Chains A and B, each alone.
Chain A
C-alpha cells in the first residue's frame, strides 16, 4: 500500500506543478496590474505552439515527387529529405531530438513580445474599467488567439516527441535505496516538476531580491503611493505582464510531450487555473503555488478506485468541490488578503 500512496502523491506533485505554474502567472498579472486575465490559458497554449512551430521548422523537408514510382495507395511516390540534417549533420539530428527543451530559447523572446504587445495594445486601456469588462475583453482575446492557431495549425493535436534519452520511466525506488521496479515514474514528468520548481523559485527570488522586484511588490501593495514617489510603475507593470506571459509560455512548452497541444488547450486549462488562483486567494503568489499543488494531489488521490468506491464520480468534480468548499468556508481563499476583487 505504501508504494501505491507514494506513487499517487508523486503524481499529484507532477500534476500540481502544471497547475501551480499557470496559476503563478495569472496571479502575477492580477497582483500587479489588477487585471483578471482570461487570456492566460491562451498564453499557455501559445507557448506550446512555439514548441510545435520550432519543431516544424527543424523538420522541414524537401519533397521531390518521383512520377515513375507509385505508393501502395496509387499516388506518385514522394521522396522526403530532411533539411536540418542535410545542413548540420549530427548536430541537426541532436537538435531535432531535443527540440522541445531547445524551443524554450525561442519561446522566451516570442512570449515576451506577445505579452508586451497585448499589454500596451489592449490590456492597458482596461486598468480603470470594471473587472467584468476585463474578463470579457481577455475572454474575447483568448477566443481570437485559439482560432488563429486553429486556422494555422488545424484542429488536431500535434504530438511533440520528448528527447529519446528522457523517455520511459525512472526507477525512483531504487534511487532511494528501496526495492527495484516498484516505484517507477516517467522521467519527463519528474523533469517537469523540477522545471516548475526552478521557475517558481526564480520568480520569487526575482521579486524578493532585485530592486525591480521590490518596486513591483511595493506597487502591488500600494500603487498610488509608488506612483507619487516618481517611479514609473507603468513601465514595470508592462514588463511584469511580459514576464507572466513568459512563465505561461514556458509551462506550455514543457508540457507538450505529455499532452499533444491543440488549439483548445488554453480553454481546457483556463477554468482550472482560475479555480486554482481563487482557492489560493486572489493576488497571493504563495497561495497560488500552494493551491496548485494541493489541488493536483487531491485530484490524483480522488482518482483512485478505493476512493471512487465511496464517492462515485468524485474524480470528475473534486477540483470544483474543493473550490466551492474553500470559497464558502474561507472567503478569501487559502492565503488571500481582505478586500481583493469583491466588488
Chain B
C-alpha cells in the first residue's frame, strides 16, 4: 500500500465512475433512462455501499438500517423548513444527526452479537417507525409525511432576503435539483461514497473489520477490544444511510415514515446479498437490479404482455400472458423472492460470484494466464 492507489483499484474506480455518469445514455434503451429512477439507483446504491461496510466487512447483520435512512430524510426536510432550501446544510445536518442516532443505537446493539444483534437493531428500527407514524407526528407529520410549505420559517433564506413564489423546492447554490441536475448530484455522491468505501476497505482499519468477521473470539483472546472498530463501522454505515435518506429528500422533498419500516431494512439486505456481500461493486449492482425490476416489472400489465406474446398462436399466447402475468405487475415480488432464494442457495456470493465464476471458466478455457485475478481487488 505504498502508492496512493493500486492499479486495479484505480481501474475499478474509473470504470465505476464512467459507468455511473453515462447511465442516462446506456440505460435509455432499457426504459430506465429517466431522472427519477436514475436518482433512486444512485441513492440506494449509496445506502447499499454503506450497509456493506457494516455487514460485508464485520459480518454484523443489521435489520434496522432503514431507521437511519429515515432519520436522514427527516433531518434534511427540517433543514429545508427551518434553515434554507439549499441542499448543502441539509445534507450535513442529515449525516450528523443520523450519525449520532447510529452511535446511540450501535453502542447499545453492539453489546450483543449474532442474531441478538439483529433483533436489537430490528427492535430499535420498529420503535422508531411506530413512533414516527403516531406520537411523533408533530416532528414527522405522521402518515402524511413531512413536506415543505410556503409558510416555513427558512431563517437563512429570509436573512438573505430571498422570497419564494410557488411550491418551495430544494436547490444547490440557486440551481434547482429536480430531474437530471438531481441525478448528477446523487451520482457525484455515489462516486464519492464508493471511493471512501474503497479506501476504508483497503486500509488497516478495514483489515481490522474483516478480522472481526472471520474470528472475533480469537481477536478478543489476544486481548484486543473489537467493539470500537465495530461501532465505527456501524456509525459510518449509519451516516451513509443518512446521506442516502437526505438525497432522497433533496430530490423529492417529502419524508414518509414508511421508509423506516423493517421491510425497508430487509430490502437493503436483499440488495447487498443479491449483488454480492463483501464486494465493493456488488451491493451497488444489487440495488440497481432491485430498483430496476421494482420499477419495470411492476409496471408491466396484461396489455403489454399480450403484445409481447402476440407472435404465438392465440391459445398459447393467452396461456403465456396468464403465466407470465403472475410474475410481473404487482406479482413482481414473487420473481424477486424466487431469484433471491436461488441466489442464496446456489450463488451465496451473489452476482459478483457469478461474474467471478464465469471469468474463471473463460480464463481456464483461454490462455493459461497467471492466477493474479484470484486475489480480492481491494487487497
Chain A residues packing against B (C-beta within 8 Å): 36, 122, 125, 129, 131-133, 135-137, 139-144, 147-148, 150-151, 155, 267, 271, 274-275, 278, 282, 312-313, 316-317, 320-321, 323-324, 327-328, 331, 341-343
A341 and B136 alpha carbons, distance in the complex (Å) = 35
Given the contacts A143-B336, A147-B331, A271-B262, A133 and B123 also touching, CB distance less than 8 Å: no
Asked if B337 is at the interface (CB within 8 A of a chain A CB), the reply is yes
Interfacial chain B residues near A324, Cβ < 8 Å: 108, 120, 123-124, 127
A316 and B128 alpha carbons, distance in the complex (Å) = 10
Asked if B8 is at the interface (CB within 8 A of a chain A CB), the reply is no
A275 and B116 alpha carbons, distance in the complex (Å) = 10
**Which residue from chain A places its CB closest to the CB of B339 in the assembled complex?**
A140
CB-based contact B326/A137 at 8 Å: no
A36 and B126 alpha carbons, distance in the complex (Å) = 20
Nearest Cβ distance between residue A243 and chain B, in whole angstroms?
A: 22
**B253-283 interface code vs A (CB 8 A; 1 in, 0 out):** 0000000001100100100010000000000
CB-based contact A125/B131 at 8 Å: no
A125 and B341 alpha carbons, distance in the complex (Å) = 13
* CB neighbors of A among B124-150 (8 A): 124, 126-127, 130-131, 133-136
Given the contacts A132-B59, A136-B273, A150-B331, A122 and B345 also touching, CB distance less than 8 Å: yes
Interface residues on chain B, size class: 35 or more
Among B108, B115, B333, B337, the most chain A Cβ lie within 10 Å of the Cβ of B115
A-B CB contact pairs (8 Å), 13 listed? A135-B115, A136-B340, A141-B337, A143-B334, A143-B340, A144-B334, A312-B135, A313-B135, A327-B120, A328-B108, A331-B116, A341-B115, A343-B217
Chain B residues packing against A (C-beta within 8 Å): 59, 61, 108, 111-116, 118-120, 122-124, 126-127, 130-131, 133-136, 216-217, 262-263, 266, 269, 273, 326, 330-331, 333-334, 336-338, 340-341, 344-345, 348
For the residues of A in contact with B, the DSSP-based class is helix
Nearest Cβ distance between residue B199 and chain A, in whole angstroms?
A: 26
CB-based contact B345/A271 at 8 Å: no
A159 and B341 alpha carbons, distance in the complex (Å) = 31
Given the contacts A139-B266, A140-B344, A331-B112, A148 and B123 also touching, CB distance less than 8 Å: no
A324 and B112 alpha carbons, distance in the complex (Å) = 11
Nearest Cβ distance between residue B70 and chain A, in whole angstroms?
A: 15
**Which residue from chain A places its CB closest to the CB of B329 in the assembled complex?**
A151
Given the contacts A125-B345, A136-B273, A324-B108, A267 and B113 also touching, CB distance less than 8 Å: no
A342 and B115 alpha carbons, distance in the complex (Å) = 7
**Which residue from chain A places its CB closest to the CB of B336 in the assembled complex?**
A143
CB-based contact B337/A144 at 8 Å: yes
Query: Shortest 6 CB-CB distances between A and B: which pairs?
Result: A143-B337, A313-B135, A147-B334, A320-B123, A140-B341, A316-B130
CB-based contact A141/B341 at 8 Å: yes
**Which residue from chain B places its CB closest to the CB of A144 in the assembled complex?**
B337
- The answer, among A133, A150, A271, A343, for a CB contact under 8 Å with B114, is A343
Known A-B contacts: A147-B337, A267-B263. Give 9 more (CB < 8 A).
Answer: A132-B59, A135-B61, A155-B330, A274-B119, A274-B122, A313-B130, A313-B136, A321-B127, A327-B112
**Which residue from chain A places its CB closest to the CB of B60 in the assembled complex?**
A132
- The answer, among A122, A151, A313, for a CB contact under 8 Å with B331, is A151
Nearest Cβ distance between residue B221 and chain A, in whole angstroms?
A: 14
Nearest Cβ distance between residue B261 and chain A, in whole angstroms?
A: 10
Among B113, B330, B344, the most chain A Cβ lie within 10 Å of the Cβ of B344
Nearest Cβ distance between residue B227 and chain A, in whole angstroms?
A: 14
Given the contacts A140-B341, A143-B340, A343-B113, A278 and B119 also touching, CB distance less than 8 Å: yes
Interfacial chain B residues near A148, Cβ < 8 Å: 334
Nearest Cβ distance between residue A59 and chain B, in whole angstroms?
A: 25
A150 and B116 alpha carbons, distance in the complex (Å) = 31
Interfacial chain B residues near A342, Cβ < 8 Å: 112-114, 116
Interfacial chain A residues near B337, Cβ < 8 Å: 140-144, 147
- The answer, among B108, B116, B120, for a CB contact under 8 Å with A341, is B116
CB-based contact A151/B116 at 8 Å: no
- The answer, among B108, B326, B341, B345, for a CB contact under 8 Å with A151, is B326
Nearest Cβ distance between residue A255 and chain B, in whole angstroms?
A: 21
CB-based contact A327/B119 at 8 Å: yes
CB-based contact B331/A137 at 8 Å: no
Interfacial chain A residues near B135, Cβ < 8 Å: 312-313, 316
Nearest Cβ distance between residue A342 and chain B, in whole angstroms?
A: 5
Interfacial chain A residues near B133, Cβ < 8 Å: 316
Given the contacts A150-B331, A151-B334, A320-B127, A144 and B113 also touching, CB distance less than 8 Å: no
**Which residue from chain B places its CB closest to the CB of A132 in the assembled complex?**
B61
A325 and B246 alpha carbons, distance in the complex (Å) = 31
A72 and B262 alpha carbons, distance in the complex (Å) = 46
Given the contacts A136-B273, A147-B333, A342-B113, A275 and B341 also touching, CB distance less than 8 Å: no
**Which residue from chain B places its CB closest to the CB of A279 in the assembled complex?**
B119
CB-based contact B273/A275 at 8 Å: no
CB-based contact A343/B216 at 8 Å: yes
CB-based contact A317/B130 at 8 Å: yes
